Chain A
Amino acid sequence: MSYLEYTVKTVPTGWRKVLYLNWPLVILLTAVACVGFLMLYSVAGGSIERWAEPQMERYALGLAAMFLVAMVPIWLWRNLSALIYMLALALLVGVELFGTVGMGAQRWIDIGFMQLQPSELMKIALVMVLAAYYDWLPMKRVSHPIWVLAPILLILLPTGLTLIQPDLGTALLLLIAGALMMFLAGVHWLYFAVVAAGGVGAVYTVFLSRGTSWQLLQDYQFRRIDTFLDPSTDPLGAGYHITQAKIAMGSGGWTGRGFMQGTQSRLNFLPEKHTDFIFNTLAEEFGFVGGISLLILYVLVLVFCIIAAMQNRDRYSSLLTLGIGLTFFLFFAVNMSMVMGLAPVVGVPLPLVSYGGSAMMVLMIAFGMVQSAQIHRPR
């Protein structure tokens, strides 16, 4: 409806849209993906076929999806937001009933050509529905308790469903992303202060529940927290991973040990070296220089999103772009904190670099929406 406000005449149509794409963002994303290909080639011991090639194929597919999504007017996406959210929610429930558990955590549904993780889809759907909600909600009601409760429910529903999968990492990501979306929309400070206080209380309660009949986290989750707090308590068990990961990263030094020369990853001391811990391989082989370069690429992507959001006068586009930038930020910030020993190991991949389909696909579609918001912004 609000598309009526756009001066439709000034919005590019047909193939001219391609010219209005944010090409620097495309190049940035491709650069990040290329770092991924390089590292996947390295950790496979110089084999393209093993990980790099499938990853390239997925990236190509993702790129195509991004263009396709970008061509679709942003208002259409806004109008679909609620529907997509409900679909993602339905899939989360479905996966709980019919899904398959892989690698101890995230559940997925096999949809033929790829394995779909509804929780990944939810990350973007939640941002969409919240952006649409606050686009719809008049400004003066934003901090009204009733209208604050609704988005909280929108957030807690999928968070709860992922938590029981059990996938603590994604659940936390959803919770933080949702809360920050509310913050961006302008919900009053006081709510956040209350929630922060409640959060501290909740964490305390969770720790209090340990070992009791109403234990709130699984044992392995508690152990992960223990190990995070002091990896040396279990150097050969769960602490082994994080210890080895830190050794890999630290031993890289300034310029690294050279491409395909990282002993930690090449000799398999590094766990999950092609997925969650791929950043350590990069840091080991290319050192501080390599690690900081990727971090700068990520920050640039983030800054691009923020600038695009600032420039966009459409509330939905602006919120969505910020939200997607935020999701992207949470991905790399949590992953990097985790592999550097700053956060517990929760199983969050490094965006566009870690080997894996769902996350990359979802992110590329999300960036397609960012592009769409750019192309179809009111001028």
Chain B
Amino acid sequence: MRRTPRDTAESSRKITRRGLMLGAAQVAFAGTLAMRMRYMQVEQADEFRLLAEENRINIHLIPPSRGRIFDRNGRVIAENENTYRITMRREDAGDIDDVIRRLSVLVELDPAEVKRAIEEMRTSPPFLQVTVADRVSWESISRVAVNAPALPGVTPEVGLSRVYPQHENFAHVVGYVGPVSERDLARYEDPEPVLRIPRFQIGKVGIEAKFEEQLRGKAGAKRVEVNAVGRVMRELDRREGATGADMQLTVDSDLQDYIKARLGEESASAVVIDVENGDVLAIASAPSYDPNKFVRGISVADYNVLRENNHRPLASKTVQDAYPPGSTFKLVTALAGLEAGVIGPDDTVYCPGHMEIGSRRFHCWKRSGHGRVNLENSLRDSCDVFYYDLALKVGIEKIADMGRRLGLGTAPDVPMSAVTDGLIPDKDWKRRERGAEWRIGDTVNASIGQGYVLTSPLQQAVMVARVATGRAIEPRLVRSVGGVETPSRGGGTLDIDPTHLKYIRKGMFSVMNSRRGTAYRSRIALDHMLMAGKTGTSQVLNRVVNSKEVPWEHRDHALFVNFAPYDAPRIAVSVVVEHGGGGSSTAAPIARDITLQALFGGTPPLDAYPSSDRGRIEAQQQEIERIRRERAAAAAAGSRA
């Protein structure tokens, strides 16, 4: 088929026209592409660059090492130890099962843990390190390291974990750390990212919790480049963190250890305070528990043993528990009477063994009565009727006021968990809390530390320290944080007539050193270290029960407070033995032994004891030495395991 030339010319014109149109459209489209490119690469470049950087850069936190805790002499209470774990990486291991089998020959593996690890390795990216065994001994790690060529993909990793070398001695004071829980995170408005690190430990109770911020330190960080699936390609840079602040406490490990041994199997607590500055030299609650178990994750069985023990090892009895102070409260009532001017040192009251108030008869602990007693003798003999009479003259408000001035009724400011306020009742309190009017009988009961009055062993120690010095001693538990001294608080005058305090101290002196004193048998025989103290027996049931016949949990609490030496007080001591029977028989000897141990800074010489007791005391000292050695050995064995 031939075409005419005209046809050709027409067609080529049309093609030229349309071709140029289309060509122009194509070039215009290319221009659009160029504009788009410019928009993205020039105008939006910064945004996209940022997104690209976010893509490739991951920030890995380096956990800081936690500050250590020392006692007043620099002995370690809490520190960090290296813990070893075995990790595996799928891409290097090849045959996971085979490597695990070979590993199990060298190291004891927990089947459940291994199952979980294999599952994790199968499902996560091949380059991810998965923990196969945690808290492995150094020996196991060495075996793994030596056999490394036969264990492809297996790497021993080292981490830090809290350890308490003194085991149970400071469990109630220092507390313990544990893995960060959701509840811990909820406490912070904006939790630090470091808390999200797996295995990171946070203070749970005690000083570990109260000083969490200072002890924790600052996390370091390294920026790493990762690829699309999260594999780390290289480290870009690294910022070192800051170790947590070290702390020094005022406590003396040796004294604490002695007290723990001396309290033995009792459900008891003891506090020793330096009356000079309020330093808490020892603050022990027995029985106790090993905080290391909590750090490692305590088993349900072990925890239940602690929880179901009727001696309540988990309770921090020195600050958390409040007891009726019993006769130790007579110091407060007497001082209130002297300050109110209602009695003088030589005023006497006749004690027939009981007192009629209204229609009720209030008994003295000595049913036969004490006869005529003055202030000094009322303390020495712990005569109840003297204080019934005094309380009626002074009134509850003045007694309560004196109690508060001596540090009772409000929680001492110490960084421990669950510190109780105790209770100093007055008319307002009863109306507010009980919805009832204050009755005269309430005053009478309060005067001898029964009824509503509640004090904690630490408060008792503070009370005695204040009586001994006339100054507003405040307990100090933390000596320094990060090298910065924590100043002693308080210490100002109590504004109590020194002669009145002298009368009280004289009475406390007689308790210990007068042949008729309730704690005469627990005296110290050295003239320059004579003790002054006060016994107390706090009723658990509504009557005095100290017979060995009644069940343990119904027996009275035995209390004792003292300071020493009498002439120049250095320490104040408070001891509570739960269900221990009488203060004079159970608590006083313990307080005396603790006092001597504290004053001598070690085992006291036998001539500090009354000569008739020395044989028995020697045997007791040897026994306690044996207990302490055994405990130390058990602790050392425990930390190796």
Contacts and interface: CB of A to CB of B under 8 A. Distances in A.
A249 B226 contact: no
Given A247-B52, A267-B226, A267-B227, A302 B26 contact: yes
A237 to B, nearest CB: 14
A287 B56 contact: no
Interface string A239-264: 00000101111111110000000011
B229 A268 contact: yes
B33 A267 contact: no
A2 interface: yes
Contacts of B393: none
Contacts of A249: 37, 40-41, 48
Contacts of B2: 2
A252 B42 CA distance: 9
A309 interface: yes
B8 A315 contact: yes
Interface stretch (A91-99, A180-188, A352-360): A180-188
Given A248-B52, A250-B47, A268-B227, A1 B1 contact: yes
Contacts of A139: 7, 10-11, 14
A326 B15 contact: no
A303 B19 CA distance: 11
Contacts of A184: 15, 18-19, 22
Contact of A292 (B10, B23, B37): B37
B45 A333 contact: no
Contacts of A322: 15, 19, 22
A139 B14 CA distance: 10
A288 B7 contact: no
B37 A306 contact: no
Nearest to B17: A186
Interface stretch (A70-78, A159-167, A223-231, A336-344): A336-344
A319 B12 CA distance: 10
B225 A267 contact: yes
Contact of B37 (A295, A310, A313, A333): A295
B26 to A, nearest CB: 5
Contacts of B34: 292, 295
B109 to A, nearest CB: 35
Contacts of A309: 15, 19
B359 to A, nearest CB: 84
Contacts of B226: 267
A180 B21 CA distance: 11
Contacts of B1: 1, 136, 138
Contacts of B229: 268
Interface residues of B, number: 44
Contact of B30 (A263, A264, A299, A306): A299
Contacts of B18: 183-184, 186
A291 B41 contact: yes
Interface in B23-48: 23, 26-27, 29-30, 33-34, 36-38, 40-42, 44-45, 47-48
Given A269-B55, A322-B22, A251 B27 contact: no
Nearest to B47: A250
Interface in B193-230: 225-229
Contacts of B7: 138-139
A247 B48 contact: yes
A249 B40 CA distance: 7
Interface in A257-316: 263-264, 267-269, 283, 287-288, 291-292, 295, 298-299, 302-303, 306, 309-310, 313, 315
B41 A254 contact: yes
A220 to B, nearest CB: 22
Contacts of A119: none
Contact of B41 (A244, A253, A263, A329): A253
Nearest to B24: A306
Nearest to A140: B7
B424 to A, nearest CB: 64
B169 to A, nearest CB: 53
Contacts of A298: 30
A356 to B, nearest CB: 21
The residue among A250, A291, A309 with the most chain B CB atoms within 10 A of its own CB is A250
B49 interface: yes
A313 to B, nearest CB: 6
B33 A340 contact: yes
Given A251-B52, A252-B45, A302-B27, A138 B19 contact: no
A371 interface: no
- Determine the main DSSP class of A at the interface with B: helix
Contacts of B225: 263, 267
Contacts of B36: 340, 342
Interface string A28-43: 0000000000000000
B448 to A, nearest CB: 74
B37 A291 contact: yes
Contacts of B183: none
Contact of B228 (A253, A267, A302): A267
Contacts of B40: 246, 249-250, 340
Contacts of A302: 23, 26-27, 30
Contacts of B228: 267-269
Interface string B157-200: 00000000000000000000000000000000000000000000
Contacts of A288: 37-38, 41-42
Nearest to A267: B227
B30 A253 contact: no
The residue among A136, A139, A322, A325 with the most chain B CB atoms within 10 A of its own CB is A139
Interface string B304-345: 000000000000000000000000000000000000000000
A180 B22 contact: yes
A55 interface: no
Contacts of A329: 26, 29-30
Nearest to B226: A267
B33 A333 contact: yes
A170 interface: no
B34 to A, nearest CB: 6
A178 to B, nearest CB: 14
Contact of A310 (B8, B19, B44): B19
B58 to A, nearest CB: 11
A318 interface: yes
Contacts of A248: 52
Nearest to B30: A299
Given A264-B52, A264-B55, A251 B12 contact: no
Contact of B33 (A186, A319, A336): A336
Contacts of B16: 310
A286 to B, nearest CB: 10
Given A186-B11, A333-B29, A283 B55 contact: no
Contacts of A183: 18, 22
A82 B29 CA distance: 32
B45 A251 contact: yes
A173 B188 CA distance: 59
A326 B18 CA distance: 13
A267 B41 contact: no
A140 B375 CA distance: 139
B541 interface: no
Interface in B225-284: 225-229, 233
Given A139-B14, A249-B40, A306-B19, 20 more contacts: A2-B2, A183-B22, A186-B11, A247-B52, A249-B41, A250-B49, A251-B45, A251-B49, A268-B227, A269-B55, A283-B41, A302-B26, A302-B27, A315-B11, A315-B12, A322-B22, A326-B26, A329-B29, A333-B29, A333-B33
Interface of B: 1-3, 7-8, 10-12, 14-16, 18-20, 22-23, 26-27, 29-30, 33-34, 36-38, 40-42, 44-45, 47-49, 51-53, 55-56, 225-229, 233
18 contacts: A138-B1, A139-B14, A180-B22, A184-B22, A186-B18, A248-B52, A250-B51, A252-B45, A263-B52, A263-B56, A264-B56, A269-B55, A291-B37, A291-B41, A313-B8, A318-B12, A322-B22, A333-B30
